[in-house]
Structure 1
């Protein structure tokens, strides 16, 4: 019998339900259970594809091309598995499907209502993902906050599931904020109200995770247990931490894994978390430091680049190094008088993805500075395109070379709209998305990183390198080290006369995991540390 765990949140949004869900999944996987995770987002958008990164954060792309919530990335990294388009759905997608069924006549003329039609669609999706993956445990995170207008249909659906599969096969985990006053006093009233609101909807939490900046004393635990109807043994601390990867270990130390198995009637198994613990030790006790400047369009909202940050951290783990990030707003570089002062603390430069013309010229400035000063550079999607445009302008001498996304009248359209994108009208889910193969050229930095001739990576783009200019750029010293199998699409570009300057049209950050750092990020950090050593100890050259 598949077991179901439902995670809800109270008091405020952004409280850490996603990391809690991912960490619990890690505890169960460490015990050998087959776990799958689902994230439900209550907003009316069909998916996250066209949402504002400043407001919503990163759009995470799965291997099958779904544009999903950033929490799907957290799940993949913590659980060490690849999820798919069924692991994230929204109010918009649920209503779209129900309306489509009504138009087809699937409901045979019934009056379509929230109950049972919407709730049945929600339940059906959760049941199906467990069945498709032959999961022993399905963990479902309900996005948003209890009390939001959008929440009741989803809470009603999981309430019904508890009835259908049996209360013994379901567990409700509630994440709530314990606010600490300036005088150090912890207040439980917001959490009490949150749980009572949940109870009004027919759900009684089994486990409470208290997000807090201070540890909870015994009297406080007893008070919450009494007023919220939750066993004191099932009240856990979620203390603030700078190292999110340590959270599964913190939960384990509190006995969460054991009690969850007990609550669900599952076999008690000892945790096998040595590998995860060793990874955390490397993260917490680095032997050296790598300083990376990220020159991007959305640096004021760093959640827009959360997978990039995590992948850099993973590259640091592989090199036993701490990665320090300096955020640089691309637009600020356009006419900056002293670039040396801007990049004086940077051992490496990374230019991430993005859309539109804003900040492009600043990214080109960063690419040129990295090339001319032999600073290791990694370009991701748009960052790869900027590498190529800058090289075209200043090395291949193609004056005013550009992308047609930025300048439709450029005399040298080095980057151009993909042919299969020219007739696209809708922006949602219409880009080149998901896994595509790439053939690597031997004796290149990319081949050295991957150590295999063919790779498969995740994409999210509409524009590509214009093949009409490939031979010119190659003659000038640009190496196209990764191509699509039919050689029609450039996947990776490298500057030959540079210690390490690589750009990928795909997004390698989406496949990097703490226990399996991505090869490009691993070698980028290695190149950064080598550059740092040469700068600090030039006499050793």
Structure 2
């Protein structure tokens, strides 16, 4: 049976609950325990799949095809445990499940209420996989006091009551603001946050306090006294230079020991933190640096490409270089020549996205990288833009474009080199979709196999000819143009096992020019960089030496 740690937040949002949860998971693993992390989000969307990246950052996709919060990316990167569909739930999903059961008559005519029906649904979700791991870490999104979060707080209160004593603890993350005029860290917001938490029946066992400055002993004692926790359980969480310093920083502050003490686990196994010391060494002691441009349409919010930025960092760590990522708005290139903006970069990456806005700029970026022999990685839409660029400028298909853009315009303007995928095989089943289907959850989602061409660059990079990667898209490159494109040097070096869907293209006469239909960034980790990002940064490093 698992022990449960419920992580809540107070004072303000975006304090780093997801990072704290992920770091705690890594520390428990370092002591020999197995862990699984979960996210409970109070918003009413069924999942983040249809939310704008400007609203909620990137959508993290699991192997089994769930569209989830970006915090699950943190969980995977720090623990290496592959997230599942059962590791993420929202109020929208909870209420949807409850209403479906009511329509089926599962509640036998009872009046449906938040308590017990909604809270029971949440508790059932939390309890999934209870016998699989030693520790289950459950993060509650938002902050205490949010009206939409109340059912979740009530559910975890009930859940802890239902479990035997000592199997559940509560960890609360708050902010200690620094007032420059008085030169003080103020504890009152934390006191009020804990008071709010206690008013709904939850007493924190561990307090994690974010602050810009070290917490003086006097303030630590004050927090412990007024918040009814031991002084040793008041954990400082200062700002860090790198998120990959978090496991070591939290360990120095005693977070993992405080959690084990709260469960009464003694003597606690000693941690082996060698992997995190190596990660920190690679982050803080690079032997050079490279500049990589990410040409995208959501560049105003870096969280929109969170996993890509982290995967590039991992590639840098593998090559002992610091990757300086710079964000370039693709829309600028629709009006201006990209050369002045892209000259001087060691590599160019064009990420995924939806809709036509910015696509002509991405095509120009792909053209610049191809013609100037600059390493290029196109991901999802970035691969499709590379194919359209080659079709227009190499294969002579001047009106090459995507059916996605014609669909938006309501008329045919392009020869659709990229088309709306209407049918594909998932496992042993055939999946069918129509252009007019609902947007949420109707894409090709999750892990799919691909077969790589023997002797191709990607086969050399992966070290195998069979791979499995995660997808999130509804448009595909049309194979009827394959021969025409390959005749002009754009090789289809990765295909679905049935040979129907292109997975990877690469330019034959180019130092490093690869487009992938999937999202390799979702599987990269600091201690296990994804092969494509590792080699992409190596190519950028080589290019930097030549410049």
TM-score by length of 1: 0.97
Aligned partners of 1:265, 1:28: CA distance in 2, in Å?
A: 15
1:484 equivalent to 2:496? Answer yes
1:205 is displaced (CA, Å) by 0.5
* Residue 537 (structure 2) aligned to one of 525, 529, 533: 525
Equivalent position of 2:427 in the other structure: none
Aligned-partner SS, 1:516 = coil
Equivalences for residues 218-229 of structure 1 within 5 A: 218-229=217-228
1:404 is displaced (CA, Å) by 1.4
Once the two structures are superposed, what CA deviation does each residue of 1:201-246 show, in whole Å capped at 9, x if it has no partner? 0001011110010110011111111111111110011111120011
Equivalent position of 2:354 in the other structure: 355
Equivalent position of 1:285 in the other structure: 285
1:260 is displaced (CA, Å) by 1.3
Equivalent position of 1:373 in the other structure: 372
1:457 equivalent to 2:469? Answer yes
Equivalent position of 1:179 in the other structure: 177
1:503 equivalent to 2:515? Answer yes
Equivalences for residues 11-410 of structure 1 within 5 A: 11-131=11-131, 134-183=132-181, 184-267=183-266, 268-337=268-337, 339-407=338-406, 409-410=412-413
1:274 is displaced (CA, Å) by 0.3
Aligned-partner SS, 1:211 = strand
Aligned-partner SS, 1:128 = coil
1:254 is displaced (CA, Å) by 1.6
1:376 is displaced (CA, Å) by 0.2
Unaligned runs of 5+ in 1: 536-541
Aligned partners of 1:309, 1:490: CA distance in 2, in Å?
A: 25
Aligned partners of 2:39, 2:6: CA distance in 1, in Å?
A: 10
Do the aligned residues in 1 keep the contact of 2:206 with 2:258 (CA within 8 Å)? no
Equivalent position of 1:538 in the other structure: none
Do the aligned residues in 1 keep the contact of 2:286 with 2:321 (CA within 8 Å)? yes
Aligned-partner SS, 2:174 = strand
Aligned-partner SS, 1:405 = helix
* Residue 415 (structure 2) aligned to one of 408, 412, 415: 412
Once the two structures are superposed, what CA deviation does each residue of 1:463-497 show, in whole Å capped at 9, x if it has no partner? 10112211111111110110001110000000111
Do the aligned residues in 2 keep the contact of 1:176 with 1:211 (CA within 8 Å)? yes
Unaligned runs of 5+ in 2: 424-432
Which is worse superposed, 150-159 or 369-378? 150-159
Aligned partners of 2:495, 2:451: CA distance in 1, in Å?
A: 5
Aligned partners of 2:23, 2:275: CA distance in 1, in Å?
A: 15
Do the aligned residues in 2 keep the contact of 1:424 with 1:430 (CA within 8 Å)? no
1:130 is displaced (CA, Å) by 2.4
Once the two structures are superposed, what CA deviation does each residue of 1:398-417 show, in whole Å capped at 9, x if it has no partner? 11211111235245211111
1:286 is displaced (CA, Å) by 0.5
Equivalences for residues 419-430 of structure 1 within 5 A: 419-420=422-423, 421-422=433-434, 424-430=436-442
Equivalent position of 2:430 in the other structure: none
TM-score by length of 2: 0.96
Do the aligned residues in 2 keep the contact of 1:401 with 1:410 (CA within 8 Å)? no
Aligned partners of 1:374, 1:144: CA distance in 2, in Å?
A: 46
1:424 is displaced (CA, Å) by 4.8
What is the number of equivalent residue pairs in this alignment? 532
Do the aligned residues in 2 keep the contact of 1:87 with 1:129 (CA within 8 Å)? no
